[in-house]
Amino acid sequence: MITLEQCQQWDAADTLASLKNQFELPQGVIYLDGNSLGAKPRQAVERAQAVINQQWGTDLINSWNKAGWWDLPVRLGNKIGRLIGAQENETVVTDTTSLNLFKVLAAAVHIQQNNDNTRKIIIAERDSFPTDIYMIEGFMALINQGYQLHLIDSPADLTTSINQHTAVVVLSHVNYRTGYLHDMAATNELVHAHDALLIWDLCHSIGAVPIDLNSSNSDFAIGCTYKYLNGGPGAPAMLWVHERYQTAFSQPLSGWWGHAQPFDMAVNYTPADNIRRYLCGTQPIVSMSLIESGVDIFLQTDMHALRRKSLQLTDLLIALTEQECTGFDLTLITPREHAHRGSHISLCHPHGYAVVQALIARGVIGDYREPEVIRLGITPLYLSYVDIWLAVQHLKQVLHNQEWAQPQFHTRGQVT
């Protein structure tokens, strides 16, 4: 039996516990939704005030030079690059994940057209976050060159689906619904053995699991900064391109920030000869500046220490759920194997949506994903072992007392 006292002992021995103090979390709330929107770093308010009051309010347009606004996408990219195994100047922060997918997909297809224009298949997972599929479909319709999207139903299907007709594979490193974690190096090797290129969506893995894009011989990667990286709602996304591909194409969204000499105001577009060519237009400086507050906390530790705590917390959540909540129609759909588990736990329940709403009413904030999935995000920077214990006790009460059956918990909001 796992006890509250045992969880308190683990907290007392936790070398990462002090990092929680750098976040501003509401009293009485256990936040298990950092995989959708990360918590606010305390330093973010001070940073926002500096950008708005001093850099914008006092220094005005001089801040493009004085405050380094012009170089912010690359400077932030280099900080994030330290979390994902990137070299200097391989990563930028810019635009949204969806737009960045469009850009790197265009890059990968263009490269493949030059290598072998008979490759017309793009592979993705049916269980990808839907925007990835939508962007692929939109891109194929736009270029109208006979490309087809092939959706696979499980990671194992990639082995039998990929062939000499495959141009590009798009995969989520961690599946947003189930929490399944791909073996990045092994998957890259499989895709490259068929002379295809691979785009990694890191939205549910960056800041959650160790990533080494260069050592795993990856091609392209995109991802959010507002989830585990705690960059703030709608914060700009990241984009990484291996050095070998940075100048292999001119991206279709050829805005002036990606120009080789943007202030020459030339009539024709000449792309920058580095990662800046993946930039488009003027960057959202205020929201972009806040990303640094979250990333700086990560740089006080390392991803391997965070991964150890993440696995301990997800192990604990699974064990306590099975210990405390047996007989209540909960089904674990997240892999038990550490090698294939991200940093959230997903449980199916016939009334999953209502269960999540009842938990929120108790101050335990998780989220719901169709169909019937209760998704509980584990963020080691600001979650404790006692938090997990208490969350499961609340879940037990919601199920035992059938609190989820109350009518107000079945009313759907615009965002679910």
Q: Which of 31, 226, 298, 409 is catalytic?
A: 226
Q: Residues within the annotated binding site for pyridoxal 5'-phosphate? A: 97-98, 129-132, 201, 204, 226, 256, 282
How far apart, in whole angstroms, are the C-alpha atoms of residue 250 and residue 400? 59
Residue appearing with tokens 């030079």: 65
Q: In the annotation, is 227 catalytic? A: yes
Q: In the annotation, is 375 catalytic? A: yes
Residue 38 tokens, joined: 């990360």
Q: Which of 201, 219, 367, 387 is catalytic?
A: 201
How far apart, in whole angstroms, are the C-alpha atoms of residue 272 and residue 49? 33
Q: In the annotation, is 298 catalytic? A: no
Burial class (CB in 10 A: 0-12, 13-18, 19+), 252: middle
How far apart, in whole angstroms, are the C-alpha atoms of residue 171 and residue 150? 12
Pinpoint the alpha helices (H) of 279-402: 285-298, 303-324, 352-361, 385-400
Pinpoint the alpha helices (H) of 50-151: 63-66, 72-81, 97-115, 130-143
Q: Hey, how many other C-beta atoms are within 10 angstroms of the C-beta on 233?
A: 10
Q: In the annotation, is 201 catalytic? A: yes
Q: Which of 278, 375, 387, 409 is catalytic?
A: 375
Q: What value does the CA radius of gyration of the chain take, rounded to a whole number of Å?
A: 22
- Between helix 130-143 and helix 97-115 the angle, nearest 10°, is 50
Query: Is residue 220 classed as helix, strand or coil in its secondary structure?
Result: strand
Q: Which of 103, 119, 227, 362 is catalytic?
A: 227
CB 167 within 8 A of CB 119: yes
Q: Which of 129, 147, 249, 298 is catalytic?
A: 129
Residue appearing with tokens 């965070």: 306
Q: In the annotation, is 23 catalytic? A: no
Q: What is the largest CA-CA distance in the chain?
A: 71
Q: List residues with catalytic annotation.
A: 129, 201, 226-227, 375
